[in-house]
Structure 1
Amino acid sequence: MNIISWNVNGLRAVERKGELRKLIDSEQPDVLLMQETKGNPDQLQPFLSAYPDYLQHYSSAEKKGYSGTSIWLHEQLASRVDGLRFNDTIPDAPNADEGRLCQLSFGLDGRSWDILGIYFPNGGKSEQAWQEKLVFYDRTHDYMNRLKDAGGTVLVGGDMNVAHTEVDIARPKENDGKIGFHPRERSWMDRLHADGWIDTWRQRNPSARDVYSWWHAMSKSRDRNIGWRIDYFLIHETCLDTVSDIAYLNAQMGSDHCPVRITVHPDARDTG
């Protein structure tokens, strides 16, 4: 399965630029996770006819033009799976009305899959927003463990709004302690790793530097590659053998984030 996660920073905007079509034509994803879709159901309706090869599911925020996630499943893969179902809720998590999760679950070749596309809160607007972000992290961790313990292969992709280590951010000293690179956010990633959850790209590229997924649009930082790696695919170590490739698609334009692509093999041996 070829799976892509992309914070599009407005699905309608990236479509108008022709960049969504460009990505789909070039990469032909089996599953596409998108964050910050920023549209209500009526506004996103045209995508159903524009991309008929994909079964599309949306989770929209109640607030207009804000947040939102989507997950698309190619019809060829959809025809091969069983028990297909969607979920939009992380139990007991705050921000439940902001459309932050699209989850796809199914069985394929004898293996159960739970694919989660998540847009994590930024947390920088207020003290309340900051505290809610920390709770969201913890509830998501709990939910990931719950799905894993139920026997599924759990793949979590999305914009996690945290750069984990100093090699994941261009200017670590200047941003130390700030939202997105705060010790409490980074310690959440540490706890995930201690619990067996693997940052799949970093696991394959332990010493790589200057690879980022988000650049501040107003400062033209992308031209200078002054960025942050805050978009990830995580999988539990017991299922790491399903992963055959992962890459950031830095040449893909249209958003202040670039997509990340992972290739997994459903028939790989489960070591859990």
Structure 2
Amino acid sequence: MRLVSWNVNGLRACVNKGFNEYFKEVDADIFCVQETKLQEGQITLDHGEQYRQYWNYAEKKGYSGTAVFTKQEPLSVRYGMEEETEPEGRIITLEFDAFYLVNVYTPNAKRDLSRLDYRLEWEDRFLRYLQELDARKPVIACGDLNVAHQEIDIKNWKSNRGNSGFTDEERGKMTGLLEAGFIDTFRHFYPDRTDVYSWWSNMPKVRERNVGWRIDYFLASARLAPMLTDARIDCHVTGSDHCPVILEAEL
């Protein structure tokens, strides 16, 4: 099974920059996107009858939003965590026979860290939610988690220490999540690989020089480890300031 996750930073713009061509080429069983930045009826994607589509739109226009395209029909679909809906459209959970798939776009703490407290509270709720799901069946969670976990996950870690996405608090929440029984699948396969990132600033020459951050992940319940076969980051794929990340598994 091939699972793909991509923060498209505006799906309508990304469609004009090769989204459909990549979607066809990668031939994912499940394809998750974050930051769709649209409302219902603002786009029509036709990837054939083999894909079912599930959308969670933010109430605020042009903001946030998630979607999942899946070849396999889920047993159930849920939007949000504790509540049945959530205004920023950040989470979709699909239940399958063997696992739960959680597509998530984690809130950004903002450059001035004005949303850090909210972000940390979100992290606590998200961990509880994953643990509740994991108590029933294994979990695969993917998306833009808006944190570079380790120094190896960011090019200029010294100068970014304490900045949004690389605060000790945010990194600590990721550590706690992994210690609670989840795997960072890319590091599971490539614990020491450097200079592999999933997001680059739009400032000139930044992506060309590969001055990036790895903030997009596939996490998995630890007991799924024997079924994971590979993880990769398609750094060559443009169309967004993020690139797709991929998990291969025998599920």
For residues 80-138 of structure 1, give each alpha carbon's deviation from its aligned partner in whole angstroms, at most 9, with x where no partner exists.
xxx62111111269x9300000111121xxx3x10011000111166552211111111
| C-alpha distance in 2 between matches for 1:62 and 1:220 | 35
Give SS of 1:257's match: coil
Instruction: Sort the Cα spacing of 1:127 and 1:168 in 2 relative to 1 into closer, same or farther, 3 A.
Output: closer
2:24 aligned residue: 25
Q: How many residues align?
A: 251
1:158 aligned residue: 143
Alignment of 1:101 onto 2:91: yes
2:200 aligned residue: 215
Identity of aligned pairs, percent? Answer: 37
Measured after TM superposition, the shift of residue 31 of structure 1 is 0.3
**Match runs of 1:250-261 below 5 Å:** 250-261=235-246
For residues 147-196 of structure 1, give each alpha carbon's deviation from its aligned partner in whole angstroms, at most 9, with x where no partner exists.
0112x120000000000010000000000011100000000111112112
Q: Mean Cα displacement is larger for which, 166-175 or 241-250?
A: 241-250
RMSD: 1.7
Give SS of 1:221's match: coil
Give TM-score, length-normalised by structure 2. 0.95
- Runs of 4+ residues over 3 Å off in structure 1: 49-53, 125-128
Give SS of 1:192's match: helix
- Asked if structure 2 preserves the Cα contact closer than 8 Å seen for 1:59 and 1:70, the reply is yes
Alignment counterpart, residue 136 of structure 1, candidates 116, 122, 143: 122
| C-alpha distance in 1 between matches for 2:112 and 2:215 | 21
- Asked if structure 1 preserves the Cα contact closer than 8 Å seen for 2:111 and 2:164, the reply is no
Give TM-score, length-normalised by structure 1. 0.88
State the AA in 2 paired with 1:11: L
State the AA in 1 paired with 2:104: I
Measured after TM superposition, the shift of residue 43 of structure 1 is 0.5
| C-alpha distance in 2 between matches for 1:41 and 1:224 | 37
- Asked if structure 2 preserves the Cα contact closer than 8 Å seen for 1:213 and 1:231, the reply is yes
Alignment counterpart, residue 63 of structure 1, candidates 39, 60, 73: 60
State the AA in 2 paired with 1:228: W
Give SS of 1:58's match: strand
2:9 aligned residue: 9
| C-alpha distance in 1 between matches for 2:91 and 2:209 | 32
- Asked if structure 1 preserves the Cα contact closer than 8 Å seen for 2:111 and 2:163, the reply is no
Alignment of 1:116 onto 2:113: no
Measured after TM superposition, the shift of residue 219 of structure 1 is 3.1
Alignment of 1:89 onto 2:70: no
| C-alpha distance in 2 between matches for 1:128 and 1:173 | 22
State the AA in 1 paired with 2:9: N
- Asked if structure 1 preserves the Cα contact closer than 8 Å seen for 2:198 and 2:216, the reply is yes
2:213 aligned residue: 228
Q: Mean Cα displacement is larger for which, 117-126 or 208-217?
A: 117-126
State the AA in 2 paired with 1:2: R
Q: Which runs of 5+ in 1 are unaligned?
A: 267-272
| C-alpha distance in 1 between matches for 2:168 and 2:233 | 25
Query: Which of the two has greater helix per residue?
Result: 1
Measured after TM superposition, the shift of residue 52 of structure 1 is 4.0
State the AA in 2 paired with 1:99: G
Alignment of 1:248 onto 2:233: yes
